[in-house]
Structure 1
Amino acid sequence: MKKLMFATALLALTAGMGMAQTVRMATEGAYPPYNFVNDQGKLDGFEIELGNELCKRAQLDCTWVKNDWDSIIPNLVSSNYDAIMAGMNINEERKKAIDFTDPYTPAMPSAYAAQSADADIEGGIVAAQTNTIQASHVAETGATLLEFATPEETIAAVRNGEADAVFADKDYLSPAVEQSNGELVWVEGHDTVKLGEGIGMGVRKSDTELKAKFNAAIQSMKSDGTLNPLLKKWFGEKALQF
């Protein structure tokens, strides 16, 4: 009898382990330091490290999917994966299509970069990645918006004279400006522009249980002090923290 009870318990445990929830996590893989493909051809960056830790705390079996930015929300809605971690700012427009977890970064600043500190960002041509809060912001100004599918193309547009300036997350633009030997500079008075509510994980509106699990994991990292060191690791000592 004892052997039978043990065998039954072991079978139940094995079945439970086999039913662990698998969550497919989508990222762009082209927006360092948030997410990128490293020299070994693997996804890397702040969000990959953070996402793996959040999945561990939420006791989820997570796999990563690389997806182009311009279709990343439609493919979530179509259930091609279950969550997005791709440097996506929380804003009202996106909330119409998907839901968000609590932010895992503070509201990071955006910035304008150009070949001249006095570049015309109100009446000139400004490059931004399509479907970003930066593109929406430029569209509301007097500038002509020049949209590109990838962030690299927005910087290239300034270098080759297609655009007067580029507008993007400052954390993304900073390495390009710092390593340009003066070719790229911050536009005076517009190197820190606050937009959005912080960056969070996108989930389908129907996935309330998954959202709750990730919120609990995010809160646990804020509470035990492990999220801020991760922000400093990837964004530097002056990184905004919780």
Structure 2
Amino acid sequence: MKKLLLAATALALTAGMGLAQTTVRMGTEGAYPPYNFINEAGEVAGFERELGDELCKRAELSCTWVKNDWDSIIPNLVSSNYDTIMAAMSINEERKAVIAFTQDYLPPAPSSYVALQEGVDLEGGVIAVQTGTVQASHIAETGATMLEFPNIDQVLAAIRNGEADAGFGDHEVMRPFVEDSNDLVFVGEQVKLDEGIGVGLRQSDTELREKLDAAITAMKEDGSLNTLIKKHFGDDAQTYE
């Protein structure tokens, strides 16, 4: 992760975007439901697609969507392959050293452990995580052995095939997999790790950040953001007061 951030920092010295550019390219992973995924038509879908389209409409921006693998999503933003990241990216100090963020569009959410049974060793066992996530940074600071994978499907596969004692990830991402399975269970206590989820941008793109911030603020004030959160995450999801 440190090498990725250092590379992105170097790229940031030479990259930037002005709003004279007619189309804002919205980067996402497309593999992290319900935040973002690729639907049967091959298009980006999910909470962040619907939210991003609405933010662009309110900000009077023309936007398109670009899919990018998670492990290179920050460097490709900084090198101008797209102009924003909307990919369930948690706001934290390490990332803020490389890119800028809007205000959060999802409140800080818990992360959870998933395993095949209760009683697994979460402190000293083998824990699977998605690489480059706040969950990976957390496990790296514990006494557990960490296995990193490029996506959440491979994290769950590692649990099932015995490579890992448990997996650790965003609770709302893990929840449908647990609910739809007959083998996975939540174990241990939930952990809060971030400052919420926001839109990532290059540090030089202050005008674009201000436009998106204003649109997020408007959606919080009129209640439409809370409505969208409940639509995708359920009535019990954390919302804004």
TM-score, with normalisation over the residues of structure 2? 0.90
The structural deviation recorded for 1:108 is 1.2
User: Structure 1: which 4+ aligned runs deviate by more than 4 Å?
Assistant: none
Q: Which residue number corresponds to residue 106 of structure 2?
A: 105
Q: How does 1:8-47 map to 2 (within 5 A)?
A: 21-47=22-48
Q: CA RMSD in A?
A: 0.9
Q: Number of residues paired by the alignment?
A: 221
Q: How does 1:178-193 map to 2 (within 5 A)?
A: 178-181=179-182, 183-188=183-188, 190=189, 192-193=190-191
* Alpha carbons 1:20, 1:61 under 8 Å: kept: no
The SS at the match of 1:187 is strand
The SS at the match of 2:51 is helix
Q: Distance in 1 between matches of 2:88 and 2:66?
A: 15
Q: How does 1:188-207 map to 2 (within 5 A)?
A: 188=188, 190=189, 192-207=190-205
In structure 2, give the amino acid aligned to 1:106.
P
The structural deviation recorded for 1:41 is 1.5
Q: Kindly indicate which of the two structures has a greater share of residues assigned to strand.
A: 2
Q: Which residue number corresponds to residue 114 of structure 1?
A: 115
Q: Which residue number corresponds to residue 208 of structure 1?
A: 206
Q: Distance in 1 between matches of 2:21 and 2:102?
A: 21
In structure 2, give the amino acid aligned to 1:186.
F
The SS at the match of 2:138 is helix
Q: Distance in 2 between matches of 1:219 and 1:138?
A: 33
The SS at the match of 1:200 is strand
The structural deviation recorded for 1:21 is 3.1
The structural deviation recorded for 1:154 is 0.5
**Identity rate of aligned residues, in percent?**
63
Q: For 1:118-148, what per-residue CA distance to the aligned partner results, in whole angstroms no more than 9, with x for missing partners? A: 1111100000000000000000000001000
The SS at the match of 2:121 is coil
Q: How does 1:159-174 map to 2 (within 5 A)?
A: 159-174=160-175
Q: Which consecutive residues of structure 1, in runs of 5 or more, have no partner in the other structure?
A: 1-18
Q: Distance in 2 between matches of 1:207 and 1:117?
A: 47
User: Structure 1 residue 96 and structure 2 residue 97: aligned?
Assistant: yes
In structure 2, give the amino acid aligned to 1:33.
P
Q: Distance in 2 between matches of 1:185 and 1:68?
A: 27
In structure 1, give the amino acid aligned to 2:129.
A
The SS at the match of 1:178 is helix
